[in-house]
């Protein structure tokens, strides 16, 4: 992934190895890029501190494999930082449970 001076996000297409604009990728792939960018920006500006992460339906366009990967990452990260995940879907909880995740769950009506 590369961010240009104009703040355009480019990704390397695995099929060709060429840089492509994020807009031509699938919604799930674009969401993954933005998630990675947010994590990197948070780590960059935190000065070494692990800032809390607030995520609001960030994985709606993820397929099952992507969701399993990101939930595994978040469960690991949760050992070092607070993560608050808002979602109106049950997929995230199902995957966290399947991965043996330890977390607090609240229903907000």
| Reported confidence tier of residue 9, pLDDT bands at 50, 70, 90 | confident
What sign for the dihedral angle of Cα 68, 92, 55, 101? negative
Domain 2-98 class in CATH: alpha beta
pLDDT at residue 17 greater than cutoff 90:
no
pLDDT digits (tens, 9 = 90+) for 63-94: 999 999 999 999 999 999 999 999 999 999 99
| Reported confidence tier of residue 47, pLDDT bands at 50, 70, 90 | confident
pLDDT at residue 7 greater than cutoff 90:
no
- Here the tokens at position 12 are 């390397």
Which single residue is written with the structure tokens 């993954």?
Answer: 32
Please say whether the beta carbons of 35 and 45 come within 8 A.
no
This prediction has a pTM of 0.85
């Amino acid at each position: 992934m590369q961010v240009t001076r104009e703040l355009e996000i480019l990704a390397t297409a695995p099929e060709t190895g060429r840089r492509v604009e994020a807009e031509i990728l699938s919604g799930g792939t674009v969401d993954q890029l933005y998630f990675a960018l947010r994590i990197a920006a948070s780590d960059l500006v935190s000065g070494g501190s692990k800032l809390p992460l607030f995520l609001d339906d960030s994985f709606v366009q993820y397929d099952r494999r992507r969701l399993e990967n990101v939930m595994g990452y978040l469960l690991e990260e949760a050992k070092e930082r607070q993560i608050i995940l808002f979602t109106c879907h049950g997929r995230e909880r199902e995957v966290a449970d399947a991965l043996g995740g330890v977390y607090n769950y609240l229903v907000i009506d």
